[in-house]
A and B are shown apart, each in its own frame.
Chain A
Amino acid sequence: MIRLVHLTKRYGKFTAVDDIHLEVPSGELFGFLGPNGAGKTTTFRMIAGILRPTSGTVEIGGIDVAQRPLDAKSRLGFIPDRPFVYDKLTGGEFLRFAAALYGQQGPAVERRIDELLEVFELDRWKDELTESYSHGMRQKLIISGALVHRPEVIVVDEPMVGLDPKSARLLKDLFRQFVDRGGTVLMSTHTLEVAETMCDRIAIVHGGKIVAHGTMAQVQQQTSSEHLGLEELFLKLTGGLKEHQLDTILDN
């Protein structure tokens, strides 16, 4: 379970996240949508304990991240938007290191690493340095890293970027089964089709604030847009598409 209570982050006079209040219970896959610069990544980094909130609290599994960071983080698997890994470690060594950060080691971990690498079709590359991995392979490696310690909660920022259709499908199935087994997933994505088909509930963020949230039907109801699909709804809530700008760019 994830609970954000009046979560705010300011950088000087600029407010990146503005009083966000949200609860994602166990067994739910929650979509966090919003245009670029809406505050999604900042929110996720605060949940992961990488950024400190200006005010408000974050709870993971009922544990306050600021009060008991190590306990809270041990329940979390965080997948950032950019897959930075140690170039001079092999895929296998990276996963072993990730597991050790959560205090896990031994034959069970080795088996788990092999399973994850096989599922993500990285087993052939296990002993290769990650500097030779493609973007998609690195993405799959950090997803494996977030799963290696069997987290209760997964916070994932733009998981589909760089993945081929087969891996994207695998990830969708994996997240679905994870929440069906009682896990919690909070996911940001720009792929609205993914959000529409995968998420139990969504929130649309704009200018650091949640402008609508709930199930698809609830969001349509809140915005009096029962006839609109998610794409139109998203555009309506986040400023829309300015067609005259396209004319300016495209006309000779």
Chain B
Amino acid sequence: MLTPKWRSALARLREEQSGSGARAVLLGLVALVFWVGVFGIAYRVLRYFRGVEDIGNLIAAKVLGIILLAFLSILLLSNIITALSTFFLAKDLDLLVAAPISQSRLYAAKLMETVVHSSWMVALLALPIFTAYGIVYGGGFLFPVVALAAFVPYLILPAVVGTAFTLILVNIFPARRTRELLGLVATGALVVVLMILRFLRPERLAQPEGFKNLVDYLAVLRTPTSPFLPSEWTASIIMNWLLRVADPWPIAKLWLAAPLAGLLGALLHRRLYHLGFSKAQEGAERKLRRVIRGPVSGILSAVSPSKREFILKDLRLFFRDNTQWSQLILLAVLLLVYLFNIKSLPLHSGEQVPFRLITMISFLNLDLAGFVLAAVAARFVFPGISLEGRQMWLLRSSPLDPSAMLWSKYWIGTVPLLVLALMITVFTNWLLHASTFMMAVAVGTIVLYTLAASALALSFGAIYPQFGSENAAQIPTSFGGLVYMMSTLSLLTAIIMIEATPVMAYLRMDRYGGQLREILPELAASALLIIGICLTATFVPLRMALQRIEMMEW
């Protein structure tokens, strides 16, 4: 049952290899930089812990437990959502369910598929972390085997639980409804986790005065974070091996729990799957309630009918798809956390803060805002062309001008992005009490940069389209998404480097006294350069994207 998947994956890999070598090199390089980065940080932190007498090892174990607990919650959510596709909505299910295959074999195959799809990213992230633990604590050549023995059942358990949860849900709601419900549940859960993590202000835990005495601190460290969860058992197995502690219990618990859970999962599957699968085939209802026409239509009255209906169509598709608009909630929370972080900076809490520091932070904040906007554009603007996918026959066989389609998509993405950019920039600079000069520089830059970032996102999305993908969130994770992010961040770096000159001149002027007009030549030169670069980064990619769309075949 898994052979077609395996062979398809191999065929895709072969296609990638026979394609451009530059693509493989670039992807390999990014993966290497990521792994080396994660490993480097983990290695340094663990070396430091190891050097701390008495409590160093306790902290290392505690950290591992917390990391694995965080992974476990991600795995659980990911498995719940993945199981809905693999067990109920996948295209191969009609064939498999109609074939004389036993329920337990189907369960085992689909569970394995679910584990692979939902866990590969966590496994990739865990690899450099485990490697750092193994090297710092001298795990020896058998450590990879021990880590694997601890990690595999750790991955299986949330898959079994997630699958069972989905199975029960599908028996209650139709599958298409469940998918939307799960999207909302997952987003909500992530929002809550983010809010709790941030508003608890974990940075205070690093301050020793937060604890009354050492005994309290040690007590916290010694108490397991979650004694009944597999994350704790896995952490114990690894730390016991590294610290040479002979304790068979964690490994026994993990290796007993995984097969037992699998068995219970299979029994539940046998009992509920058939009914659930049948319910999953039921189409969605949907008498339409919301009507997006009146006000938006009024605003767009000056636009030609084809462009207007095109924009209305894109807005309808976005707001009627719960998996799409629900991500706006997540975005709003992330922004709130971002603003909270700026507000939490200890800048205006008593002492006079140097003007130089405020200006520098305001300038660096521009960089951070640019990064946030690049990521938002990747998620919401980049998939624009790919999402037309199978409906492209209608657009291409009609007299719709491809440039009208491209520009409609550009403005649908750019206008909200501009509003967001201005909100972030103005609000953060206001929180920072930045000078009028810095506010003007930041607003001007962010507007130009946003125009370019949105154009780059849409264009790279057209140049590297993912027409086969039905999941908008997955589209930016493609190679094209990576190239887009690298290009946009290069643009951001260039802007920051060019602007550093007038900002430094401004700081010098403030320090040694002087008038703003003295730095006008530097200011004008960099402004012109940035305008030139940003407009080029807006129009050239859009032109390339238009040519690409005109050459596209379906």
Contact = CB atoms under 8 A, between A and B. Distances in A.
Query: Is A bound to B?
Result: yes
Interface of A: 45, 48-52, 69-71, 73-74, 76, 78, 80, 84-86, 88-90, 93, 96-98, 100-105, 127-129, 131-132, 142, 145
A84 B396 contact: no
Contact of A100 (B305, B321, B397): B305
B305 A129 contact: no
A178 B326 CA distance: 47
Contacts of B551: 52
A142 B400 CA distance: 17
B354 interface: no
Nearest to B553: A51
- In order of increasing CB-CB distance, the 8 nearest A-B pairs are A100-B309, A48-B397, A101-B398, A78-B397, A84-B390, A105-B305, A88-B320, A70-B399
A76 B393 CA distance: 13
A218 B316 CA distance: 52
Contacts of A103: 304-306, 399
A48 B553 CA distance: 11
Interface string B288-313: 10000000000000001110111011
A69 B397 CA distance: 9
Contacts of A131: 176, 283-284, 286
24 contacts: A50-B393, A50-B554, A70-B401, A73-B398, A78-B393, A84-B390, A84-B391, A84-B393, A85-B391, A88-B320, A96-B309, A97-B310, A98-B398, A100-B308, A101-B310, A101-B395, A101-B398, A127-B287, A128-B287, A128-B288, A129-B286, A132-B285, A132-B286, A145-B394
Nearest to B320: A88
Contacts of A132: 283-286
A89 B305 contact: no
Contacts, number: 97
A102 B286 contact: no
A34 to B, nearest CB: 20
Interface in B258-288: 283-288
Contact of B313 (A78, A86, A104, A105): A86
A190 B310 CA distance: 35
Contact of B553 (A50, A74, A93, A104): A50
Interface of B is mostly: helix
B538 to A, nearest CB: 25
Nearest to B293: A93
A89 B554 contact: no
Interface of B: 176, 283-288, 304-306, 308-310, 312-313, 316-317, 320-321, 390-401, 551, 553-554
A45 B321 contact: no
Given A52-B553, A73-B399, A86-B313, A101 B288 contact: no
Given A69-B399, A103-B399, A104-B305, A90 B288 contact: yes
Contacts of A93: 313, 316
Nearest to A73: B399
Nearest to B319: A88
A97 B313 contact: yes
Contacts of A69: 399
Contact of B396 (A48, A96, A127, A145): A48
Contact of B309 (A73, A78, A90, A97): A97
Contacts of B309: 96-97, 100-101, 105
Contacts of B287: 127-128
B18 to A, nearest CB: 13
B308 to A, nearest CB: 7
A201 B317 CA distance: 42
Contacts of B553: 50-52
A69 B395 CA distance: 12
B468 to A, nearest CB: 13
Contacts of B288: 90, 127-129
In this complex, which of A45, A69, A97 has the most chain B Cβ atoms within 10 angstroms of its Cβ? A97
Given A74-B399, A100-B305, A128 B286 contact: yes
A12 B346 CA distance: 64
B397 A89 contact: no
Contact of B320 (A127, A129, A145): A129
A100 B310 contact: yes
Contacts of A129: 284, 286, 288, 320
A53 B288 CA distance: 42
B393 to A, nearest CB: 5
Contacts of B554: 45, 50-51
